[in-house]
């Protein structure tokens, strides 16, 4: 169940409620998270080589994902909140259109 949208905190971008804006925000968040995984995996691979340990690529990739999951939530909080705000704005617009349609079908308008 989707919770009610709350007023954004000061300094938080106001969601526009357009699917295109949501797509851009979601793309940016996804790319940032993927880059974080790549950077962490590269650090594991090359860090291992620096200390003389040969780390397999798959192991570095798995640990990159596992480390990036919580780290990305913290580092990219503003991007995540923007995506959540856009989803809430689109849902509120959809709900308003649905309620308007229902009232017109009942003959209230």
Q: What is the pLDDT of residue 29?
A: 95
Q: What is the pLDDT of residue 18?
A: 84
Half-sphere exposure of 16 (CA within 13 A, CB side): 8
**Tens of pLDDT along 4-23?**
445 555 555 556 668 888 99
- Assign 99 a pLDDT band (cuts: 50, 70, 90): very high
Q: What is the pLDDT of residue 36?
A: 97
pTM score of the predicted model = 0.72
- C-alpha distances out from residue 73 to 5, 22, 88, Å: 20, 18, 19
Domain spans of the chain? 20-106
């Amino acid at each position: 169940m989707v919770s009610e949208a709350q007023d954004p905190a000061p300094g938080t971008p106001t969601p526009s409620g357009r699917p295109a804006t949501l797509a851009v925000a979601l793309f940016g968040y996804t790319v940032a998270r993927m880059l974080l995984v790549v950077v962490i995996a590269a650090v594991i691979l090359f860090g291992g080589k620096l200390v003389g340990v040969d780390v397999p690529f798959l192991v570095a990739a798995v640990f990159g994902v596992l480390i990036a999951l919580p780290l990305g939530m913290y580092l990219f909080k503003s991007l995540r909140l923007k995506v959540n705000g856009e989803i809430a704005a689109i849902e509120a617009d959809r709900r308003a259109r649905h309620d308007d349609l229902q009232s017109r079908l009942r003959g209230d308008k």
